[in-house]
Amino acid sequence: MQCFTLLSFNLFIDPYGIFNFITIKNVNLSKIKQETNVRIFKSLEVLQKKPKILLLGSSRTDVGLNPRHVKQLDINTVYNLGILGANMYEVMRYFQQSIAVEPNIKKVILGIDFFMFNENRDADASFYEDLLEQKYFWSSFLKWTFSIDTVFASFETIQWNQAGKTLTPYDDYGTRNEKYFIRYNLPEESKIKGFEVTLKRFLEDRSLYKDYQLSPASLEYLKKIVETCKEKNIDLYIFISPSHVTQWEAIHKAGIWPIFEQWKREVVKISEVWDFSGYNSITEEIISDRMSNYLDSSHYSQAVGELIFQRLLNQNHNQIPSDFGTVINTDNIDDYLSTTRNQRALWLETNSQTVEFLNNINVDL
C-alpha cells in the first residue's frame, strides 16, 4: 500500500515533467526540478520518446536550438539532448544511449564548444553512468520513481508552485524555456549582469578557461561519434557554437588563444565543421538588456539557433547574414584562422566600449 501511494504521488506531481498526466496551477505546473536533474530527466525522455533526430551538445544547444522552428525536422521524432555543462564524454554517452534505444536514428546535429574539451572538466556529479546503460523506459523510470530523491523533488515542486511560479524550465522536446532562463538564471533578469557573471566564471574556473588543457581523450570521444554516424549512415552536422565575441576575448585574456586555434585544427582532422564562432554580424551584437541575439555571453538566443538550423540544413539563404557560418576543414583551416585574427584586429579598433566592458571585469587569473 505504501509503495502504491509513493508511486501515485510521484506520478501525479511528475517533478521531471516526463508524463504531464495532470498539471495544476499552484501544485505541479512548473517542473522546477528539471533544471537541477537535467541528466536524469533527459535520459528518461530518450528512453520514452526514442527520438530519431538528436540535437546534442552543451547548454548552448540546450538553450538555443528549438526544433519547433524548423519545418524540415519532424517535431515528433526530434529531441534536444543538450546537457548543461557537459564535457565530450557525457555527450558521447548520451549519444550511445540514444543509439541503443533507437538504432534507426536518422540525423544528429552536434554543437561543440571549446570548454567541453578541457582536460580539467569532469563529468557532473549528477551524471549516472548506470542510467545510460538502460534500454527500457519502465525499468529505469520505476527505479527513479521509488527513489527518496524523487520524493524530495516532488515536495520541492509543490513548494515552488505554491509560491505562484508558472514558468517551467523545459518544453516537451527538451529545449530550455528562454523566458525561464532570463527570469531565473540571469541576475536581476539583466543580460548585462549575465554577461558580467558568465565571463567572470569562465575566466576563473579551471574547468572552463583558467589553466585550460586540451584533452586528447575528448577528441577521441568526438571521433567515436563521427565514426558511429558513418557506420550507421546517420546524417551528422557538427558546428562550433556562436557565443558572443566577449567569449573569444575572454579566451585571449586567459592567454589560451593558441590552444583555441589548435583545438580547431584537431577537430577538422576528425571532421569538417560549420564554425559560427569568431567575429561576425551576429556575435558582435552590442551588449545591452535588449539584445536579440544573446541571453548572456555564452548562450545565443533561439532566433540565432534558427539561423544555425537554416545554414546547416541548407534553407532560406537570403535570411542568413553572409558572414555567419563557415565550413572549416583541413584544406582551409590555416587561412581561416588567419582571417579570424584579422577580423579580431578590426573589431578591436571599432569596439572600444565592449573591450572596456571586458577589461573592467575583475577576475582572479
Q: Domain limits of the chain?
A: 2-359
pLDDT at 221: 98
pLDDT at 68: 87
| Selection from 154, 168, 185 nearest residue 85 by Cα | 185
pLDDT at 21 over 90: no
Tell me the angle at which helices 352-359 and 245-253 cross, rounded to the nearest 10 degrees.
Answer: 50
pLDDT at 147: 74
Task: Please report which confidence band the pLDDT of residue 364 belongs to, taking 50, 70 and 90 as the band edges.
Answer: low
Distance of alpha carbon 191 from alpha carbon 343, whole angstroms:
25
pLDDT at 303 over 60: yes
Distance of alpha carbon 218 from alpha carbon 61, whole angstroms:
18
Over residues 155-205, the pLDDT tens digits come to: 999 999 999 999 999 998 999 999 999 999 999 999 999 999 999 999 999
| Mean of the per-residue pLDDT values of the chain | 92
Q: Which residue has the higher pLDDT, 277 or 144?
A: 277
Distance of alpha carbon 51 from alpha carbon 364, whole angstroms:
43
Q: What's the whole-number mean pLDDT along residues 291-318? A: 93
